[in-house]
């Protein structure tokens, strides 16, 4: 790539980073002009620069200008995946999920090893009501990036919504393994264990969640609920009390405490 064009795009990215969209747009336009002036294979560079300019327009909520740049980038180099993907993302931002699907598909055809493309396509398919196809895309994303807990998490969610509880549990287990410091993943795993009737593993997952976020009232309260369901009323009471100290206005929590202690809701 021409040094002038590369420099302009680098400066444009810096402007975007600091929120100066107008300056970024100017730099990207200059980058396209500089790239066009080069003699050595400008097609790829121009398509890339136009995609960057389109992304900047999209960031600035200038959808019409963004659309124009993405289409020109595709026309300049139809075998480049990025403008198809950016166009798909733009369609979704404009509420045109169905229109985004062919562009996601084309981006994936051109860059099949890009796990993020599969994830975003899966998300769009789910949004469009095609849950089985969405699961297929997320399964590919997990295959391509098996150590990315985020993809496991979303695949688990899709499995759950599709009624595949066992698969959901397995994927959420993977999510918590690859993101061991994420309390929410452990909490969600605990919920799946509850749905599976696996109380002991639910307790273990909730204890890990509370260890990571000791001031989270919801985690403490669910741990107390599970312990109470298992008949461990003393331990449940301790966790209810801790949850109550974190949120004294939780009426449902007070109801649970009264049920265990036998204290009536009626005034004396």
- Round to whole Å and give the CA distance between 186 and 236: 19
DSSP classification of residue 263: -
- Round to whole Å and give the CA distance between 140 and 115: 7
Structure tokens at 261: 């202690």
Q: What is the pLDDT of residue 14?
A: 65
Q: What is the pLDDT of residue 260?
A: 64
CATH number of 190-268: 1.25.40.10
Q: HSE-up of 146 (CA within 13 Å, CB side)?
A: 1
Q: What is the pLDDT of residue 103?
A: 97
Reading the chain (268 residues) residue by residue, the pLDDT tens digits are 445 666 666 666 665 565 656 666 666 666 666 666 554 445 566 778 888 888 888 988 999 999 999 999 999 899 999 999 999 999 999 999 999 999 999 999 999 999 999 999 999 999 999 999 999 999 999 999 999 999 999 999 999 999 999 999 999 999 999 999 999 999 999 999 999 999 999 999 999 999 999 999 989 999 999 999 999 999 999 998 898 888 765 667 667 666 765 544 443 2
pTM: 0.80
Residues 6+ apart with CB under 8 A from 177: 149
DSSP classification of residue 40: S
In contact, 232 and 255? CB cutoff 8 Å: no
Residues 6+ apart with CB under 8 A from 250: 217, 221, 243, 244
The domains spanning 1-112 and 190-268 adopt the same CATH topology = yes
Cα–Cα–Cα angle for 48, 17, 31, rounded to 5 degrees: 30
Domain residue limits, the chain: 1-112, 190-268
Q: Residue 147, exposed/middle/buried by CB under 10 A (0-12, 13-18, 19+)?
A: exposed
CATH 1.25.40.10 fits 1-112, yes or no: yes
Q: What is the pLDDT of residue 246?
A: 84
């Amino acid at each position: 790539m021409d040094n002038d064009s590369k420099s302009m795009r680098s400066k444009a990215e810096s402007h975007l980073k600091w929120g100066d969209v107008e300056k970024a747009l100017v730099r990207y336009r200059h980058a396209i002009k500089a790239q066009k002036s080069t003699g050595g294979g400008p097609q790829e560079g121009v398509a890339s620069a136009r995609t960057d300019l389109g992304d900047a327009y999209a960031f600035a909520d200038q959808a019409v200008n963004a659309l124009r740049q993405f289409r020109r980038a595709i026309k300049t180099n139809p075998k480049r995946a990025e403008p198809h993907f950016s166009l798909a993302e733009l369609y979704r931002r404009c509420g045109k999920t169905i229109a985004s699907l062919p562009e996601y598909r084309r981006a994936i055809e051109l860059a099949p090893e890009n796990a993020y493309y599969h994830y975003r396509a899966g998300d769009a398919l789910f949004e469009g009501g095609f849950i089985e196809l969405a699961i297929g895309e997320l399964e590919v994303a997990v295959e391509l990036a098996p150590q990315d807990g985020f993809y496991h998490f979303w695949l688990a969610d899709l499995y759950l919504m599709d009624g595949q509880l066992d698969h959901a549990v397995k994927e959420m287990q993977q999510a918590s393994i690859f993101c061991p410091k994420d309390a929410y993943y452990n909490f969600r795993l605990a919920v799946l264990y509850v749905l599976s009737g696996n109380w002991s593993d639910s307790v273990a997952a909730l204890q890990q969640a509370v260890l990571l976020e000791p001031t989270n009232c919801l985690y403490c309260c669910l741990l107390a609920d599970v312990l109470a369901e298992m008949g461990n009323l003393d331990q449940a009471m301790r966790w209810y009390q801790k949850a109550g100290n974190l949120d004294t206005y939780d009426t449902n929590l007070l109801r649970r405490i009264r049920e265990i202690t036998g204290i009536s809701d009626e005034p004396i």
